[in-house]
Amino acid sequence: LAKTTQPISMDSYEGQEVNITCSHNNIATNDYITWYQQFPSQGPRFIIQGYKTKVTNEVASLFIPADRKSSTLSLPRVSLSDTAVYYCLVAIAYSSASKIIFGSGTRLSIRP
């Protein structure tokens, strides 16, 4: 099963680019990599998902190297409202024996 490792916390300032890396050394061929954002006492919110190379949407980019053993979530020009916990998730799309493993989460604090 793919286990994920993320930094416990990160600090940055408004307007900066923030990169959060997740390690998933045992990722399997069919695993997708997904990132979620969670505010206190709320359910996580989907940010971005990818399988390989680079994916970009209106809020973030996801970089996945060729070996897929890590991934980096990039948040451009962060604001105070980006202060949250960010989770990396590796999960098999289809499998009767699949398990879904969230990383421990990275607590991102943005300062003015």
Partner 1 sequence: DSGVTQTPKHLITATGQRVTLRCSPRSGDLSVYWYQQSLDQGLQFLIQYYNGEERAKGNILERFSAQQFPDLHSELNLSSLELGDSALYFCASSATSPPYEQYFGPGTRLTVT
**98 part of the interface to partner 1, by CB under 8 A:** yes
CB of 16 to partner 1, least distance (A): 25
CB of 5 to partner 1, least distance (A): 12
**29 part of the interface to partner 1, by CB under 8 A:** no
Q: For partner 1, give the closer residue by CB, 35 or 110.
A: 35
Q: For partner 1, give the closer residue by CB, 18 or 103.
A: 103
Q: What single-letter amino acid sits at 62?
A: L
Q: Where are the beta strands (DSSP E) in the chain?
A: 9-13, 18-23, 31-38, 45-50, 53-56, 61-64, 70-75, 84-92, 100-102, 106-111
Q: d(Cα 54, Cα 62) in Å, to the nearest integer? A: 6
Q: For partner 1, give the closer residue by CB, 66 or 93.
A: 93
